Chains A and B, each alone.
Chain A
Amino acid sequence: MRIDELIAELQEKLAELKRLTRDSGLDASPQIAELAEEVARLSLGRGAWEQVQLARHPSRPTTMDYLGLMMDDFYELHGDRLGSDDGAIVAGLAKFAGRTVVVVGHQKGKNLVENRIRRSGMAGPGGYRKAARIMGLGERYGFPIIALIDTPGAYPGVKAEEHNIGGAIADSIYTMLRLRTPIVAVVIGEGGSGGALGIGVGDRLLMMENAYYSVISPEGCAAILWGDRSRAREAAAALRLTAHDLLDLGVIDEVVQEPTGGAHTDPQEAARSLGEALRRHMDELRGMVPGELPGLRRSKFRGMGICEGAVPVMHEQGGE
């Protein structure tokens, strides 16, 4: 695809400029900003469906891959204390840039055997309850929370329904709206609807460049609205689900650059890029009064949505 080549070329130039800035001390930031904007503009019109394929690439780095590459240490914790430990969600304490943080994330398996436990990152109620429990632990000690999102959606199964998957997601969302500690959420691969959102309520929302985030899978949308699953390509474009789309729509705060060709071509570089973005946002959030964070977070989300004839309302930003 012609446009992909052009984007790749510009990205290479961008990387070179950044290297130059770092190594020579020359300040090329105006040029960098200009180039980055150009890449973003071009990426808007790019094939959403190709983006979805990249986000689902079998060798794309998973949550555990990123933790191994970004964290100085990771101590996994298990169980929701209500009868289950869901392998589709990993959570625990980590050392990031010298400080203790809490990490929660969807975990996909790399093969069929792993996916017997991981279920391709499709978490059930126990996963969301485990995540909420461990985020609560983080709040007790003021640890910032990093949430890594990578799921096709919550697990659709009889057991999941019997154990109230809807309620578990609602509770996890509600918990994240109350926590007094900074939260940065990143879609690293698939951002599949409510299953993604269940750990996706952050003070900052980031997306890796080739991730997608959508209210429904393109296949599901095509089946319902087009009456034909094979129209998923059209559905993907109509849903505006790429990272640059979401930045353009004002829903996310930043697109995290991936190595040319996608994160799977150079996981180290992808992790370095993500780590840099996380550090920057967490430094900013650390400067804020903890008591103010939940109110600001709620205001952020209460401002989302576009209606006609609506008068914008400012919400009071109380604490707690």
Chain B
Amino acid sequence: MKISWFRRQQYVQVKLEQKGEVGALWVKCAGCGDLVFRERIRENHGICPRCGAYFFLTAQERISLLVDESSFQDVSKPIVTADPLGFVDRRSYVGRLKEAQEKTGLRNETVIGRARLGGCPVILAVTDFRFIGGSMGSVMGEQLDHGMGMAARELRPFILVTSTGGARMQEGIFSLMQMVKTAAARRDLERLGVPFVSVMTYPTTGGVLASIASLGDITIAEKGALIGFAGRRVIEQTTGERLPPEFQTAEFAFEHGMVDRVVERKKLREELIHILEFLPVRQSQ
């Protein structure tokens, strides 16, 4: 049985909300419950130095973790959502957006850049979970389309690092259609023989998992990732099934053949550089 193998992993089930905000200097770890000095976690790439629990990274932290020093050139489109439905629930979508922008200092949830990994030129796309759950609406669709278009034109491998709760409900049908839009853009990479590496981190779920994130040539799950299509609560309510404890973890995804490998955060950069050594890199320009 594989059960014992799972137990050996220092894995903790983490909650979707930002973990344990205590103060500016200290954070309560969801893994061990200890108060940890925030700076110590940052130095440790968002991993609890006591118990090894993973905190999710901001887009900026993720980028600096992966790319060669000062090689990143932001080529994101200067776009923001247009709130196509004029969506209002208990709050307005526009209000949520403004708050997300202030909180993150980002214009939107997706960052696209030219970068180098171990000297290899790539296009890197990263989503930031702090920004409305890193969810996919028209803007993410357009940014990924733009990023893949650039990768195809410049013959640079495309690396996508997802941290997203799925579709952006507030954009209704438009958010659903981004699943097709991103898959359509992915076809250009295939036609031109440009590699696409998908890196699923905490969390990669719903409509993004059911489209672009699942269409990589090579798929890596970061240790500590949450990977699944349907939410736990929906499954429990609809089917009455009891969910196994390791359900929808990176290890679960690996066990069931959904990803090629599970990689620790600290080794992710080396892993990607290694993968790129096998793949065609024929940069034009």
Interface, chain A (partner B; CB < 8 A): 154, 156-158, 160-167, 169-171, 173-174, 177-178, 193-194, 197-198, 201, 213-216, 220-221, 224-227, 234-235, 238-241, 246, 249, 251, 297-299, 301-302, 304-310, 313, 315, 318, 320
B89 CB-CB contact with A under 8 Å: yes
Given contact pairs A193-B167, A220-B234, A215 touches B77 in the complex (Cβ within 8 A): no
Given contact pairs A161-B228, A174-B187, A251 touches B173 in the complex (Cβ within 8 A): yes
Given contact pairs A194-B206, A235-B89, A249-B174, A308 touches B79 in the complex (Cβ within 8 A): yes
Which residues does chain B contribute within 8 Å of A157, judged by CB atoms?
230, 235, 238-239, 241
Most central of B90, B145, B169, B235 by chain A CB within 10 Å: B169
Chain B minimum-CB-distance residue to A224: B169
Q: Which of the segments B18-26, B46-54, B176-184 contacts the partner chain? A: B176-184
Which residues does chain B contribute within 8 Å of A227, judged by CB atoms?
90
Which residues does chain B contribute within 8 Å of A224, judged by CB atoms?
169
CB-CB contacts of B146-179 with A at 8 A, as 1s and 0s? 1001000000000000000001011111111111
Q: How far is the CA of A302 from the CA of B178 in the complex (A)?
A: 8
A118, chain B: closest CB distance, angstroms: 15
B234 touches A302 (CB 8 A): no
Other A-B pairs, 19, CB within 8 Å; known A170-B210, A301-B177, A310-B79: A156-B234, A157-B241, A158-B247, A166-B209, A169-B229, A171-B215, A177-B183, A193-B176, A194-B176, A214-B173, A214-B176, A215-B173, A251-B177, A302-B181, A305-B174, A305-B178, A307-B77, A307-B82, A309-B78
Q: How far is the CA of A96 from the CA of B177 in the complex (A)?
A: 29
Q: How far is the CA of A220 from the CA of B230 in the complex (A)?
A: 12
B229, chain A: closest CB distance, angstroms: 4
CB-CB contacts of B182-216 with A at 8 A, as 1s and 0s? 01111100010000000000000011011111110
Q: How far is the CA of A201 from the CA of B211 in the complex (A)?
A: 12
CB-CB contacts of B227-258 with A at 8 A, as 1s and 0s? 01111001100110101100110000000111
Given contact pairs A197-B179, A301-B184, A307-B80, A216 touches B234 in the complex (Cβ within 8 A): no
Chain A minimum-CB-distance residue to B231: A156
Q: Which of the segments B27-35, B115-123, B136-144, B272-280 contacts the partner chain? A: B136-144
| Interface residues on chain B, number (Cβ under 8 Å) | 65
Q: How far is the CA of A314 from the CA of B142 in the complex (A)?
A: 13
Which residues does chain B contribute within 8 Å of A198, judged by CB atoms?
210
A194 touches B169 (CB 8 A): no
What would be 13 A-B contacts, judged by CB atoms less than 8 Å apart?
A: A157-B241, A161-B228, A161-B229, A162-B256, A166-B258, A167-B210, A214-B176, A227-B90, A238-B85, A299-B184, A307-B139, A310-B77, A310-B79
Chain A minimum-CB-distance residue to B171: A215
A201, chain B: closest CB distance, angstroms: 6
B247 touches A173 (CB 8 A): no
A172, chain B: closest CB distance, angstroms: 9
B87 CB-CB contact with A under 8 Å: yes
Which residues does chain A contribute within 8 Å of B180, judged by CB atoms?
173, 177, 197, 201, 301, 304
A161 touches B210 (CB 8 A): no
Chain A minimum-CB-distance residue to B229: A166
Q: How far is the CA of A222 from the CA of B90 in the complex (A)?
A: 10
B84, chain A: closest CB distance, angstroms: 4
B169 touches A166 (CB 8 A): no
Chain A minimum-CB-distance residue to B145: A302
Which residues does chain A contribute within 8 Å of B84, judged by CB atoms?
249, 306
Which residues does chain B contribute within 8 Å of A158, judged by CB atoms?
235, 239, 241, 243-244, 247
Report the 10 A-B pairs with minimum CB-CB distance, sorted nearest first: A305-B138, A156-B230, A166-B209, A298-B184, A170-B214, A225-B89, A166-B229, A169-B210, A301-B180, A215-B176
Which one, A177, A238, A313, contacts B184 given CB within 8 A? A177
Which residues does chain A contribute within 8 Å of B228, judged by CB atoms?
161, 166
Q: How far is the CA of A214 from the CA of B146 in the complex (A)?
A: 25
Q: How far is the CA of A27 from the CA of B215 in the complex (A)?
A: 51
Which residues does chain B contribute within 8 Å of A193, judged by CB atoms?
167, 176, 207
A226 touches B89 (CB 8 A): yes
B64 CB-CB contact with A under 8 Å: no
Chain B minimum-CB-distance residue to A174: B183
B187 touches A194 (CB 8 A): no
Chain A minimum-CB-distance residue to B77: A310
Given contact pairs A167-B258, A193-B207, A161 touches B230 in the complex (Cβ within 8 A): yes
Most central of B173, B176, B206, B248 by chain A CB within 10 Å: B173
Which residues does chain B contribute within 8 Å of A249, judged by CB atoms?
84, 173-174
A178 touches B82 (CB 8 A): no
B138 touches A307 (CB 8 A): yes
Chain A minimum-CB-distance residue to B85: A240
Which residues does chain A contribute within 8 Å of B244, judged by CB atoms?
158
Q: How far is the CA of A220 from the CA of B238 in the complex (A)?
A: 12
B174 touches A174 (CB 8 A): no
Which one, A170, A238, A297, A320, contacts B211 given CB within 8 A? A170
